[in-house]
Amino acid sequence: MSVTAVVDVVARVRPYPGIGTRLLADTAEREDLAAYRLTGGYAEVTDVEDLLSQIDESGLRGRGGAAFPTGFKVRAVRNGRGTPVVVANGEEGEPASVKDRWLLRNRPHLVLDGLRLAALAVGTTEGVVYVSDTQSSASIELAIAELSGQLPGPELDLRVVVVDPTYVAGEETAAVQAINGGPALPMDKPPRPFEVGVGARPTLVSNVETLANLPLIQRLGFEDYRAVGTPTCPGTFLLTLSGAAEPGLYEVPFGITLVDVLTWAGTDSDGVVGALVGGYFAGVVGEEIMTIPLDYESLRTIGSGLGCGAIALLDPSTCVVDVSAAVMSYFARENAGQCGSCFNGTAAMSGVLQGLRDQTASLADVERLSAWSVNLRGRGACGTLDGATNIAATLLAKFPEAVDEHVAGRCTVCAVGPHVVDPPFAVGLAEH
């Protein structure tokens, strides 16, 4: 079974009904400066303190995976020592996600407008757009050229930094190190970028989807911004859906269920037995994923997380052990190779999961995997090892019958193959 897909940006990039024009504008082509201005973009900011209050009151949380309150992050950088820097992090390291690439390619001015507002909020005129996708960098470079001399208020000093795509390159300290001229590899913390970042200055590193929400907050006001979503997770998020569903990129309100999304999208939700959630980071869950509200708090109650907003649905034709083995193989290959606990730990867990997939692993192997999933957590310089332990822990906790079936050599799906491709559920954007 192939689970590599190409998202058709014309047919399957859609906003959910009732949310208005937010992140996914009704455009199949790249939005230029003139078109973006018609949406109210690049509106003048007359009161920075009011902008800061609007960001705080909006309840905006980071869309890169950590879901940290944006207002707190902005104020920490604003109150730091030295002239700040703002970074739009568009290095989309999750193979199962396309949201950042779509925004950078199709709505570059929405991203740059968000970067402008973030710069005003922290008190700087220096911004960096950090990407690995060449089409995204070309779109942003063109947008910067279109914007020359057109901004209300102070001009921004903008530059684009392009790196090779890897899983770890999007980690915020890796972004800082690359922008500073080093390798795109994570660094030990503390200090964190909000304290010492680009050029040793306080640096706000924000995911491009997070930044794209700032012009919406400015245009709508925090009350209308919060009119959709939930009290603790207001607004919308970009959902990259793949697997046992038509691959697509959808903007949906927080708190909606996957049954609601699939019904609206015209896809049968029957037969879903689980999902790979949060890209590769949050692990696997059972069929309860279909009816639980898609927000950070609700997913936490089932031991999972929304992460970057990418979800791959599983049906009976795909074995969850096979999927877990493919994800762990990816982590073993893509880790930075800087931390012994991660380099050796991901390799060891990958070996057990491949043996489990091939139905040659023993109960002792499973016991070792269980111990590693607990003892290795939090021991890496970045989140890669945590993502790997999440895969192992959730497989063992959520699918014990599947694990037992493989130890006993009774999985008919894995016996006949073919195995899930590595990386699993990787998605791309169709060329137009």
User: Residue 369: its pLDDT value, please?
Assistant: 98
Assigned token pair, 93: 């390291």
Pairwise pLDDT comparison (64 vs 3), residue with the higher score: 64
Residue 152 has pLDDT above 90, yes or no: no
- Side chain identity at residue 244, one-letter code: A
Whether the per-residue pLDDT at 41 is higher than 60: the answer is yes
Q: Is the peptide bond before 152 cis (omega within 30 degrees of 0)?
A: no
Q: What is the mean pLDDT of residues 215-224?
A: 97
Is a pLDDT exceeding 80 seen at residue 431? no
For the chain, give the number of residues. Answer: 432
User: In this structure, what DSSP letter does residue 181 have?
Assistant: T
Q: What is the mean pLDDT of residues 221-250?
A: 94
235 Rama sector, left if φ>0, alpha if ψ -120 to 50, beta otherwise:
left
Alpha carbon 342 to its chain's center = 21
- List pLDDT tens digits, range 87-117: 999 999 899 999 999 999 999 999 999 999 9
Is 1's pLDDT higher than 80?
Answer: no
* Whether the predicted pLDDT of 2 surpasses 70: no
Greater model confidence, 124 or 66: 124
Helices (H), 228-319: 258-265, 296-300
Mean pLDDT of 245-268: 92
CB atoms within 10 A of CB 409: 12
Specify the pLDDT at position 399: 98
Quick one: pLDDT at residue 198? 97
Least confident of 9-18, 159-168, 214-223, 313-322: 9-18
* Domains located in the chain, CATH noted: 20-225 (3.40.50.11540), 320-410 (1.20.1440.230)
pLDDT band of residue 149 (cuts 50, 70, 90) is: confident
Mean pLDDT computed over 146-160: 91
Residue 268, pLDDT above cutoff 50: yes
- The burial class, CB within 10 Å (0-12 / 13-18 / 19+), for 399 is buried
Sheet holding 126-131, edge to edge: 157-162, 126-131, 85-89, 203-207
The pLDDT assigned to 195 comes to 95
pLDDT computed for residue 186 by the predictor? 94
pLDDT at 20: 87
Cβ atoms 226, 234 nearer than 8 A: yes
**Which pTM does this prediction carry?**
0.95
Q: How high is the pLDDT of residue 10?
A: 54
- Average pLDDT for 134-158: 93
pLDDT at 245: 80
Which of 212-216, 239-243, 322-326 has the least mean pLDDT?
A: 239-243
67 confidence band (pLDDT: 50, 70, 90): confident
- Taking the CA atoms of residue 22, residue 28, residue 30 and residue 32 in that order, the dihedral angle to the nearest 10 degrees is -60
Alpha-carbon dihedral angle through residues 113, 117, 119, 121, given to the nearest 10 degrees: -170
Q: What is the C-alpha separation between 313 and 391, in angstroms, rounded?
A: 15
Q: Which helix (H) or strand (E) holds 145?
A: helix 134-147
Q: Check pLDDT > 80 for residue 392.
A: yes
Three-state secondary-structure class, residue 267: coil
Q: Would you place residue 6 in the very low, low, confident or very high pLDDT band (cuts 50, 70, 90)?
A: low
Average confidence (pLDDT) over 183-203: 94
pLDDT at 155: 87
- Mean model confidence pLDDT for the chain: 93
Judge whether 308 and 281 are in contact, CB under 8 Å: yes
Token pair, residue 128, equals 């960096």
Q: Give bridge partners of residue 12 from the DSSP assignment.
A: none
Contact 113, 153 (CB under 8 A): no
The DSSP string of 276-301 is EETTTTS-EEEGGGGTS-SSHHHHHT
Max Cα-Cα span within the chain: 68
At 295-337, the pLDDT tens digits run 999 999 999 999 999 999 999 999 999 999 999 999 999 999 9
Reply yes or no on whether the pLDDT at 27 is more than 90.
Answer: no
Other residues' Cβ atoms within 10 Å of the Cβ of residue 38: 9
pLDDT of residue 87: 98
R_g over Cα of the chain: 21
Tokens of 383: 């989140």
**139-155 CB burial, b ≥16 within 10 A, e <16:** bbbebbeebeeeeeeee
In this prediction, residue 168 carries a pLDDT of 95
CB atoms within 10 A of CB 35: 15
On whether the CB atoms of residues 158 and 177 are closer than 8 A, the answer is: no
Q: What are phi and psi of 234, to 5 degrees?
A: -75, 160
